[in-house]
């Protein structure tokens, strides 16, 4: 669904004007360090902005550079990430940091090089390119979808990203020659306007085919995995790491306290083996587990 250039120009003018009105002065927006922006992009995936503000600063205080993150232990990375959800994102970021550090410590600028890093998808790569390097990018995430659907497709339903992506690419300014209308400013305007629309209207992004209602966390396998990681952080770094049976007893105790059914040792063993395959923990002698 191509939009004539005059239509795109009018759309861009409206978005930039709303972006100036609604601008959010967030700490990572004052940062041009590619590493810091990368961390913010990972943290902001499916996480509220208010929750990231504070945690982003704390992460950078503990792991201030790519090299520092690359050298960090699994336990330290997971400990710092607790409460942010999706623990595998933190470990993927550490693995990507090791690759970047080995190549000289500088994040690449090109999307194909960025998406080759563990855990970096097209949206994260585009965000790094636009916000860290002020280069044109096709940054397609939920707030951006919201604005395009609201402004350009008010009556459309079940809109696939294949329709939105060319419009996002068409609307992005080509360079950073105008500081009032460069890729960085443009996408901040889209993000802030989109966040405003989602607060004040029935969420337009629900009309996107990519919109997925988040599955229930409490009581899910994902919740039990996360709780098991927390137990391992508390008990798995000592001289005597816990056994599968001990971990199962502790997880069952916490589940009962939360009003849920106990898990049982077979499921705990299954969860531990899956976590081990993903690099979260490792088996030790006598059926014990270490981080």
Active site amino acids: 41
Q: Rounded to 5 degrees, what are φ and ψ at 282?
A: -145, 145
Report CA-CA distances (Å) from 231 to 25, 171, 235, 251: 37, 48, 6, 8
Report CA-CA distances (Å) from 121 to 38, 65, 70, 92: 12, 21, 19, 11
Helix residue ranges per DSSP H, the chain: 5-22, 34-43, 49-62, 66-71, 74-81, 87-102, 111-115, 122-133, 142-152, 161-171, 183-200, 221-235, 244-257, 265-277
As a three-state string, the secondary structure of 127-167 is HHHHHHHCCCCCCCCHHHHHHHHHHHCCCCCCECHHHHHHH
Q: Cα(76)–Cα(58) distance, rounded to whole angstroms?
A: 13
Which residue matches tokens 């509220």?
48
Q: How crowded is residue 150: how many other Cβ atoms within 10 Å of its Cβ? A: 18
Residue 208's H or E segment, with its range, is none
């Amino acid at each position: 669904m191509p939009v004539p250039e005059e239509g795109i120009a009018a759309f861009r003018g409206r978005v930039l004007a709303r972006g100036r009105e609604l601008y959010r002065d967030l700490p990572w927006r004052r940062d041009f360090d590619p590493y810091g922006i990368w961390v913010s992009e990972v943290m902001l995936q499916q996480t509220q902005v208010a929750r990231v503000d504070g945690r982003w600063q704390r992460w950078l205080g503990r792991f201030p550079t790519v090299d520092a993150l690359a050298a960090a232990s699994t336990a330290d990375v997971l400990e710092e990430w607790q409460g942010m959800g999706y623990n595998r994102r933190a470990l993927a970021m550490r693995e990507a940091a090791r690759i970047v550090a080995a190549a000289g410590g500088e994040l690449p600028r090109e999307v194909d090089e960025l998406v080759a890093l563990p855990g970096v998808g097209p949206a994260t790569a585009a965000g790094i390119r636009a916000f860290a390097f002020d280069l044109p990018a096709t940054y397609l995430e939920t707030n951006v979808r919201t604005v395009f659907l609201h402004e350009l497709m008010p009556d459309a339903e079940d809109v696939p990203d294949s329709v939105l992506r060319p419009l996002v690419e068409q609307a992005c300014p080509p360079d950073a020659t105008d500081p009032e209308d460069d890729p960085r400013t443009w996408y901040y305007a889209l993000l802030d306007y989109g966040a405003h629309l989602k607060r004040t209207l029935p969420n337009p992004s629900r009309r996107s085919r990519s919109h997925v209602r988040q599955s229930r966390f409490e009581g899910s396998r994902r919740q039990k995995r996360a709780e098991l990681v927390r137990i391992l952080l508390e008990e798995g770094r000592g001289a005597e790491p816990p056994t599968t049976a001990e971990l199962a007893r502790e997880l069952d105790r916490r589940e009962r306290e939360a009003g849920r059914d106990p898990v049982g040792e077979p499921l705990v063993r299954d969860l531990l083996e899956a976590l081990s395959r993903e690099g979260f923990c490792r088996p030790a002698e006598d059926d014990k587990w270490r981080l």
